[in-house]
Chains A and B, each alone.
Chain A
Amino acid sequence: MTAKVEIPSALQRFVKDQPVVEVPAGTVKNVFSGLISEYGELKNHLYDENGEIRSFINIYLNDKDIRYAQNLDTEVKAGDVLQIVPSIAGGR
């Protein structure tokens, strides 16, 4: 009963270079906790010093921004795809 999390290229080195990681389904909050417990180096990149998901990170569940659903309480089912997308391009 797993969901897929697409990992941006800038973070793949922390998940053994995998572009997609399978994690147990649950809420988005649970999925991220599971991700961090398996790949601890991600924590500082995904969470700020207050333990919140960093503000420039957009999380899409099946292409829909979770901010317009139940945010971190949004249910992620087996087979669903989560994407981690920085909202700032990092370019000029």
Chain B
Amino acid sequence: MKPGAKALGSSIAELIGGTPLLRLERVWPEGNLFAKAEWYNPGQSAKDRPALYILDEGERSGRLKKGMTVLDATSGNTGIAYAMIGATRGYPVCLCMPASVTPSRIKVLKAYGAELILTDPKLFSDGAILKARELYAADPERYFYADQYGNENNWKSHFETTGPEIFAQTDGRITHFVSTLGTSGTLMGVGRYLKSRSAHIQVIEVQPDAAFHGLEGMKHMESSIVPEFYDPGFADRKMTVRTEAAYRAVVELAREEGLLAGISSGAALEAARAVARENPAGVVVTVFPDNGLKYLSEHFWDDIL
């Protein structure tokens, strides 16, 4: 290529963020409910954002050096993001996850070349977190422990990208932001940004209704290892969703809205609809973290497909 010539095409990293805001027209015809479609990221989930920020900052700080292995606990989406970005930068990736993750998720990770360590499914994601910490403690020179549950660059990625996108995409008219909780990065990052633009914007967090749940990607904070940057006093309101209600919402999104969305998206829709119902003059935005392709083997689809 000639010196000074503009590079053609885009890199994976350049394609992260800038996802569309969908107007939900059939599952909520009232017209005041919108969802950010995060599967438009190249790794097909919102997790591309924190993964990129975490790895970029790791390199800038010198904590992540050539030859090191990226290590974290993840049930999949963040792992997919690490594996994808790691592949473009030549970093081996080692991921700890519960053995009960969907088989298709495991295949995707292995396709990107990640090493997987499967942990006790009865311990949910906490078992994977403890395993990752153990591995890092045993060999800190070998591993860059990305630590999505404690790394501030997780929520910062949403503060600097997702939040501004949502504000701009609603022309600043957003009144309510509804976020499911996993690491809480989306809630804390987007929520903080939106409140910095207007203190009147209401931030609502959504959790599973019980410690024992089937909502992949979501965390019941009271019964789990709490992410370090989660602030339980931050959201203006806390809501919960029962697993089966989220499953029904997933089917409804596919059949009525043409969106094959993931399980946490179903939970987001359930909660966001309630908020939209209570605030007919408001502009309610939620995030759909990933698409539903990875979850088609889940048994709630058995009687339907």
Q: Which residues of A contact B (CB under 8 A)?
A: 6, 8-11, 45, 48-49, 54-58, 83, 85-92
5 CB contacts below 8 A, A to B, read A8-B212, A54-B244, A86-B121, A88-B263, A91-B182
Which residues from 68 to 116 on chain B have a C-beta closer than 8 Å to any C-beta of chain A? Answer: 73-78, 97-98, 100-102
Name the distance in Å between B127's Cβ and chain A's nearest Cβ: 9
Q: What is the bound-complex CA distance between A87 and B215, given in angstroms?
A: 10
Chain A residues within an 8 Å CB radius of B122: 6, 8-9, 83, 85
By size class, the interface of chain B is 35 or more
Q: Which residues of B contact A (CB under 8 A)?
A: 47, 73-78, 97-98, 100-102, 121-125, 128, 148, 182-183, 208, 210-220, 223, 243-244, 247, 263, 298-300, 302
Cβ contact within 8 Å between B123 and A56: no
Name the distance in Å between A91's Cβ and chain B's nearest Cβ: 2
Q: What is the bound-complex CA distance between A49 and B122, given in angstroms?
A: 24
Cβ contact within 8 Å between A55 and B123: no
Known contacts A9-B122, A10-B223, A45-B210; decide if A89 and B244 are in contact (CB<8 Å): no
Cβ contact within 8 Å between B218 and A90: yes
Known contacts A9-B122, A10-B211, A92-B125; decide if A87 and B299 are in contact (CB<8 Å): yes
The contact of B247 among A11, A55, A58, A91, by CB within 8 Å, is A55
Name the distance in Å between B207's Cβ and chain A's nearest Cβ: 11
Chain B residues within an 8 Å CB radius of A92: 47, 74-78, 125, 148, 182-183, 216-219
Chain B residues within an 8 Å CB radius of A45: 210, 212
Name the distance in Å between B104's Cβ and chain A's nearest Cβ: 13
Q: What is the bound-complex CA distance between A92 and B101, given in angstroms?
A: 10
Cβ contact within 8 Å between A56 and B299: yes
Name the distance in Å between A7's Cβ and chain B's nearest Cβ: 9
Chain A residues within an 8 Å CB radius of B73: 91
The contact of A89 among B78, B125, B148, B243, by CB within 8 Å, is B125
Select from chain B the residue with minimum beta-carbon distance to A67.
B299
Chain B residues within an 8 Å CB radius of A10: 124, 210-213, 220, 223
Q: What is the bound-complex CA distance between A86 and B120, given in angstroms?
A: 11
Known contacts A9-B122, A49-B244, A56-B298; decide if A86 and B74 are in contact (CB<8 Å): no
Cβ contact within 8 Å between B212 and A91: no
Chain A residues within an 8 Å CB radius of B98: 89-91
Q: What is the bound-complex CA distance between A86 and B298, given in angstroms?
A: 11
Chain B residues within an 8 Å CB radius of A83: 122
Select from chain A the residue with minimum beta-carbon distance to B73.
A91
